[in-house]
Structure 1
Amino acid sequence: MRFVIIGAGRVGLRTARVLRDEGHEVTLIERDESKIRRARTQEFSVVEGDGSREEILEAADVTNADALGALTGDLNVNFTACMIANHYGCRTIMRIDEAYREEIYREYADEVDEVIYPERLGAIGAKNALLGGTIRAIADIAPHLQVVELTITNGAPVNGYTISELQLPADATVLAFGKHDQPLGIPDEDLSLEDGDRLVVLADFDVLSEVRQLLVGESPGKAAANAGSDATSGTGGVN
């Protein structure tokens, strides 16, 4: 596949390297001379200029690209580039660096194919590493939806239940299940939940504390506090 990435900074260049390593063709757009030199030193094709200008996008052959990643730190540049690329039929991915507020997400999410927030992804990864333990945030799906992996404990109210007997809140659903030390897979309704087993759950932030209480056995106070910190941890400094 062919990709155009705007921004050869930390996020853009790393993304380009991953794509190239997987055999894809990548063209970068950048206007900072030092970043251009660094990208070209790594043997990337770089178009010099403002990625929000149509002629620069055309010079990068956006007309034949499968997707465009607008990954600069400038929200206006990213949004404008995505609107132009959308005109050419590209899949559009836009980076935002603002505080993770619902109104910002909603403003742009309907206009592009996907909005990414590298800082929040990084914060999730850092938090998981620091906390360790039985709960691991995986990804934000929307401003109020998060995918989490939870490890069943001896103190969990559902310990000993089968998957079919598990009753999560209405705004939560099981996506995957893995027995202790075994890979995750599609949930089997007849399997029992035991100490060390893992469940991957998609849940609304409003019910995360209840999910924690059921699957991990956290106290109501601790579960509410931890779920609240998940919902607001986007101010930390990751796809």
Structure 2
Amino acid sequence: FTHNERLFLSAVGPRGIIPASVATLFAVELQALGRPQEAQLLAGTVFLIIFATVVLQAGLARQIADYLEVSPMRTIIVGGGRVGLSLAERLEQDGENVLLIDLDPDAVEKARKRGLRALEGDGTDADVLEEAGADDAKTVIATTPDDDVNLLVCQLAKTTYDVESVASRVNQPDNVDAFESLGVHAIDLSMATAWSLENVLERPSLSAWMNELGRTGDVQEIEVTATDLVGKTIADLNAEIPDGVIVGLLTHRNGATEVPTGDHELRDGDRVTFLGQTDAVDRAIKRFHPHE
């Protein structure tokens, strides 16, 4: 843990067990001495203070984390329509720190009612992106039905805030090149729909499995940071991989991606893709990509 992470844990970590135990002990002693009112007052006051402290810490935890810069890097989604809202919910379920931006107050309120963090404002306004924390964001995604808006959002994210990963919904196929020229991951909406329909018709079993995986399972790509695993083959690591999860893809530092066999050896900088049950995928991630 870093110094700031230790400060954060000390600020919001659970406490009160020892004071509660001591207060209970003294209350019992006071009861034995025939002073029940003092016993109740002592115990009640201590537990009230503990309760108030817990509530205060819980309410300020996010602000403290932001101040100490230990919050998970944020994913900002501009566009609170059906696509943006669904994506935000899925990313939240995956444990991402998501903030949704939309000009429509109704869309913002709808997102908040679903438990999402949302900001009312124009995602093409640098001040709004600044307020959203774009300077600390790891990902910015534009999901509005207007390609001009999406392109401007991506341009700001890339040039002004130097965001590592920028992606966008592209509504008109002819605009894909404009997004890709900025280094944006462009998702052609019409092509994505065509691929989905083709999968349903040509590969129904695979399509059904992927849909089921999307509902009850998880797919995660992570960089291998556990140094003790580097140099070992997939077969060697079989016991390290939890039941209910498989290594679907292996991406090397040079960008080459392949379906691994048991003989494939993990190298420094490799990325692996896990598929399987959500809890099993989580355990695999913790083993292969432990907290640094």
Task: Determine if the alignment matches structure 1 residue 79 to structure 2 residue 133.
Answer: no
CA gap 1:133/1:47 in 2 versus in 1, 3 angstroms: closer
Structure 2: distance between partners of 1:135 and 1:94 = 26
Query: Could you report, residue by residue, the CA deviation over 1:92-129 in whole angstroms, capped at 9, with x for unpaired residues?
Result: 1121101x24xx32222111331112332122112221
Letter in 1 for 2:75: F
CA RMSD of aligned residues (A): 2.8
Please say if 1:17 is aligned against 2:89.
yes
Amino acid at match of 1:109: E
CA contact (8 A) 1:94 1:112 kept: no
Amino acid in structure 2 at the alignment position of 1:96:
V
Corresponding position of 1:115 = 186
Structure 1 Cα separation of the partners of residues 204 and 186 of structure 2: 30
Contact preservation (8 Å) 2:78, 2:100: yes
The answer to whether the aligner puts 1:96 opposite 2:158 as a matched pair is: no
Higher helix residue share: 2
Q: Is the 8 A contact 1:52 1:80 kept in 2?
A: yes
TM-score, normalised with respect to structure 1: 0.53
- Specify whether residues 185 and 85 from structure 1 end up closer, same or farther in structure 2 by C-alpha distance, changes over 3 A only: closer
Q: Which digits, 9 at most, give the CA deviation of each residue in 1:188-216, with x for residues without a partner?
A: 9xxxxxxxxxxxxxxxxxxxxxxxxxxxx
Gaps of 5+ in 1: 139-175, 177-183, 189-239
- Give the counterpart letter for 1:12 in structure 2: G
Q: CA separation in 2, counterparts of 1:135 and 1:7? A: 30
Rg larger in structure: 2
Bigger RCO (CA 8 Å, 6+ sep): 1
TM-score, reference length from structure 2:
0.44
Aligned-pair distance for 1:66?
Answer: 0.6
CA distance, structure 1, for counterparts of residue 206 and residue 111 of structure 2? 38
- What is the rounded CA distance, in whole Å, between the counterparts of 1:63 and 1:96 in structure 2? 24
Helix, strand or coil for the counterpart of 2:101? strand
Counterpart secondary structure, 2:99: strand
C-alpha spacing 1:62/1:131, structure 2 compared with 1 (3 Å): same
Choose which of 122, 134, 137 in structure 2 pairs with 1:62: 134
Letter in 1 for 2:122: D
Counterpart code for 1:33: P
CA deviation string 1:154-210 (max 9, x = no partner): xxxxxxxxxxxxxxxxxxxxxx9xxxxxxx94489xxxxxxxxxxxxxxxxxxxxxx
CA distance in 2, matches of 1:133, 1:52: 40
Contact 2:176 2:188 in 1 (8 A): no
Kindly provide the amino acid, as one letter, of the partner of residue 166 in structure 2: T
* Partners of 2:135 and 2:100 in 1: CA distance: 14
Quote how far apart the aligned CAs of 1:51 are.
0.6
SS in 2 for 1:66: strand
Higher strand share: 1
1:135 and 1:21 map into 2 onto residues whose CA distance is 23
**Is 1:47 the equivalent of 2:126?**
no
Q: Distance in 1 between matches of 2:155 and 2:206?
A: 38
- For 1:126 and 1:72, the matched residues in 2 are separated by 22
Give the match for residue 126 of structure 1: 197
| Partner Cα separation in structure 1 for residue 94 and residue 85 of structure 2 | 14
Number of aligned pairs? 141
* Closer, same or farther: CA 106–186 of 1 in aligned 2, 3 Å: same
Query: Is the alpha carbon distance of 1:127 and 1:3 closer, same or farther for their aligned partners in structure 2, counting shifts above 3 Å?
Result: same
Q: Is the 8 A contact 2:143 2:168 kept in 1?
A: yes
Q: Quick one: structure 1 residues 30 and 132, their matched pair in 2 at CA, closer, same or farther if it must change by over 3 Å?
A: same
**In structure 2, do the counterparts of structure 1 residues 56 and 135 end up closer, same or farther at CA, with 3 Å as the change threshold?**
closer
Contact 2:102 2:122 in 1 (8 A): yes
